[in-house]
Structure 1
């Protein structure tokens, strides 16, 4: 009985570890794609002294339905984000200069 419990706990630990590893890798992938857009936005701002009004103002590599998406919040603040599932988002906010 003790061996069965240890085996089940070991298998559960492996499954949970693999899940979190894959989730971490997925988030890194989103951030890498999003960082390309963030750099394009900063480059646009450097060249035009203003933020782009929309994604159509600069050449962005986006995948339909997945993102990244760009939103100008005001003259100095923007976000780049991915919609993941129904309610989950990964967001870069230019005020904080980090992904959340």
Structure 2
């Protein structure tokens, strides 16, 4: 008797799960905000951005005005440039504050 009840519960759970999945709208991509690190890290980040762009995501990159590697204009993303003249580590301080706001840990 106990096993029969368990089979009915499992069957109802599977039916409910399949029903919910079938009524979920498909995802066509989203908006992604990127805080890249300048230098060799940008090479790997750019590969990821190319794939995300190919999958339909809208990308926005925040870059420093003193960046050597991250171009301001790109067909892959729109950019937000932060002026860095005479401000030292203002860009990294900005990133740390943004990560605190979204409760992310800084690595």
TM-score clears 0.5: no
Where is the strand percentage greater, Structure 1 or Structure 2?
1
Structure possessing the higher radius of gyration over alpha carbons: 2
Where is the helix percentage greater, Structure 1 or Structure 2?
1
TM-score by length of 2: 0.29
